[in-house]
Structure 1
């Protein structure tokens, strides 16, 4: 079936769009829209006059393939049969969440006629750029093709529904950026000053927020956040499943999995006061693994905000169901199938490895009913990763985790004191000693300052342990590690980790 444009309808309260030809909002003459396969080249929303083409032959072919690929027929409704269009006058009303690469908005369209497209239950997802009017690099058509041709066949109904939407001449990009400027002071510090790239395209994505009677609370796209819509019905949690199996290129003697090692690395590099400790985040090896050590598989690591708000046992069982859901099992199977080598040995040109890394970076959205044992799971954030941009970063991160001791360290030596790494990884509780020599993350001041007490401790430790030196803010890290301080007489080469932490559920 060929793609069809659903043109916007004229509306009395439609707003103007700077650079548009006055009075034309429907573009009835355009039967199949497109943008350049060079990301957004010549595709500035609203800058094309009615007589100017914004469709290239390459994009026409890609759009037709999106709508009528015979190789995918019979596998369900995987291909988009039409492209909806945001009508002029559409306005953002809430920033639902944002990350480094994209932002998601709740939006409101102007008064509609019965023939207008229905946008109920959909959010607008658009790509970000580092600063206002920065050249965009995101290609929506290619990303949608990757989603429909690769992700949907792998995950089926468990993938969040996503479709292209035309933003051309809607004026919405200007509105989104005005909205972001107005709320810039309230955004996370690391996202302030970032805006939406000029584009003719966006995505409509399934709104996973439970549809209740009350106004929803903001939903953050980072992991482990809790959002409730109707206090009498459902809550929505989201988390990153990450690497559901150990990295194939991790050391055989690893004490922790790829993700727990990365969380430990991030903590050491940036021990900011508001950073969540690794043990407060889910260990991926404890998901889809009912036999995981109890110390590592607390269900509330998926959603710490649900602990202690009442009905603990109800939520505990619901979170266990999510952790062992067949959708998570399928995600793990696909991760394993597409990567047998790991980032250290994978080939830059291997398309299967790129798919595996995309599957390892998705977000899981799960609705939990407050009274019934009922859950709904969808997964999103499946953007194709460009190996030209990402491959060296993946390879370098794996080297750093290995060479920096984050996979294998038994102890942290910081400010002259020993601490247990606060990771609670399932591998840390596996039976059998991996090495006769303890491995220690030796933390030094970032500015090079040293203390005699630490020098003495290091000298003693070096005689019996393998040391990995790292520089950071020692005082900040010590404050975060205080609950994990080892006994003064503990010998890191023989001591046994105390796993009975009173605060761990």
Structure 2
């Protein structure tokens, strides 16, 4: 069953139903979702409300939890197969993820079906973050949208996230996209008092694009990053062109792997050599990277320009190229989990966008380093070259 076919005939599951009166606290947002801390009206928030934080283009991180953990059961809810809806009684370790009104995104029900039937079977237990589908009362979404409007007026919501609101608001004055479900995520907030911190990064394309020229010098990720950097600087935007090369992560070369980890850690943590070695050893030893690399290669052998954009295999490969690593680092251990498996449908112009990007990377010389222009990476003979 392809992803597209699955999206047309979802079976409504029996899931916990959120109460309408939950207290909401804005935590963070990505391009497609907004994350909230929730509590019953008479509860004290534990841990304290997170300061408004801006993450990367991915969905803000859920908590690490083994794939087979039933979040609902762990928090006082029981599964119901009949008319009696499950009730969750403890929200102290959970976050709520609400979807934005984006035409290119699937509903949460379809996303859950895709996650449980397509993505989860690809990985062994313990490598993905856990999440639970919940039924959403419309009034809760309306209140959440009111909060977003208030944050905009107060100048607190990130400027590039403004004017896009949550799906499922029943009011005609809102953007009007139906959504009856949300995801509960176990809170992965690090305990800074214990010296913990959280890393978030996308491994992206761990194997070269099958459409890249035979004489390529750059991986697909680095080629696209440099192109985006050039376009951003022409618009007067500040951005970085030196980034993580995915090929370094899966090179099995300790020196290259450490270089990649330093970019993930950023300054000043990247200056701590013992920390770099500890995180490098943990990530190189985790199964996620090798599994992702193998799946990306096997599910999309033809590449964006030649693949069937409606096939389950190709769309799953595109999903796996955009998932996110969440790495919780403490003084005693490093735990890595995969999340943010947003279903890719190729609809709403996405297929055309993928094809356009791939053709421009080839035709403008970004793969083989022949792009026009006097760029910083060409100064004094410096070049950006990737190695498989």
TM bucket (normalised to shorter chain) is: 0.7 to 0.9
Alignment match of 2:37 (pick from 106, 112, 121):
106
Note closer, same or farther for the CA distance 1:423–1:259 as it changes in structure 2 (3 Å cut): farther
Counterpart position of 1:396: 356
Q: Secondary structure at the match of 1:126?
A: strand
Q: Distance in 1 between matches of 2:149 and 2:301?
A: 45
Q: Are residue 375 (structure 1) and residue 334 (structure 2) matched? A: yes
Q: Contact 2:232/2:239 (CA < 8 Å) preserved in 1? A: no
Note closer, same or farther for the CA distance 1:352–1:190 as it changes in structure 2 (3 Å cut): same
Alignment match of 2:133 (pick from 143, 164, 171):
164
Counterpart position of 2:160: 190
Q: Distance in 1 between matches of 2:196 and 2:376?
A: 48
Deviation at 1:236, TM superposition (A): 0.4
- Greater strand percent: which structure? 1
Q: Distance in 2 between matches of 1:382 and 1:86?
A: 23
Q: Distance in 2 between matches of 1:128 and 1:416?
A: 37
Counterpart position of 2:369: 409
Aligned pairs for 1:83-98 (under 5 A) are 83-98=15-30
Counterpart position of 2:96: 124
Deviation at 1:311, TM superposition (A): 3.9
Larger Rg: 1
Q: Secondary structure at the match of 1:142?
A: helix
Moved more, 185-194 or 353-362: 185-194
Deviation at 1:247, TM superposition (A): 0.8
Q: 1:220-277: per-residue Cα shift (whole Å, max 9, x none)?
A: xxxxxxxxxx143311000011001111111111110000000011011111666442
Give TM-score, length-normalised by structure 1: 0.59
- Greater helix percent: which structure? 2
Alignment match of 1:200 (pick from 154, 159, 180):
180
Moved more, 266-275 or 379-388: 266-275
Q: Distance in 1 between matches of 2:94 and 2:315?
A: 28
Q: Distance in 2 between matches of 1:136 and 1:294?
A: 36
Specify every segment of 5 or more residues in structure 2 that has no aligned partner in the other structure, as ranges: 1-5, 44-74, 78-86, 169-178
Note closer, same or farther for the CA distance 1:424–1:313 as it changes in structure 2 (3 Å cut): farther
Q: Secondary structure at the match of 1:183?
A: helix
Q: Secondary structure at the match of 1:297?
A: helix
Alignment match of 1:153 (pick from 116, 121, 131):
121
Q: Distance in 1 between matches of 2:101 and 2:381?
A: 36
Counterpart position of 2:57: none
Note closer, same or farther for the CA distance 1:259–1:346 as it changes in structure 2 (3 Å cut): same
Deviation at 1:108, TM superposition (A): 2.0
Q: Secondary structure at the match of 2:347?
A: helix
Specify every segment of 5 or more residues in structure 1 that has no aligned partner in the other structure, as ranges: 1-36, 40-57, 65-81, 213-229, 431-505
Counterpart position of 1:278: 241
Counterpart position of 1:248: 210
Q: Contact 2:136/2:182 (CA < 8 Å) preserved in 1? A: yes
Q: 1:119-168: per-residue Cα shift (whole Å, max 9, x none)?
A: 342211121126xxxx9974221111000001111124322212211112
Counterpart position of 1:7: none
Deviation at 1:284, TM superposition (A): 0.6
Q: Distance in 2 between matches of 1:296 and 1:265?
A: 25
Deviation at 1:114, TM superposition (A): 7.5
Counterpart position of 2:345: 386
Q: Distance in 2 between matches of 1:174 and 1:256?
A: 46
Note closer, same or farther for the CA distance 1:196–1:278 as it changes in structure 2 (3 Å cut): same
Note closer, same or farther for the CA distance 1:273–1:159 as it changes in structure 2 (3 Å cut): farther
- RMSD after superposition: 3.1
Q: Contact 2:377/2:384 (CA < 8 Å) preserved in 1? A: no
Give TM-score, length-normalised by structure 2: 0.75
Q: Distance in 1 between matches of 2:376 and 2:283?
A: 42
Q: Distance in 2 between matches of 1:194 and 1:300?
A: 34
Q: Secondary structure at the match of 2:303?
A: coil
Q: Contact 2:304/2:355 (CA < 8 Å) preserved in 1? A: yes
Q: Are residue 209 (structure 1) and residue 175 (structure 2) matched? A: no
Q: Distance in 1 between matches of 2:208 and 2:7?
A: 37
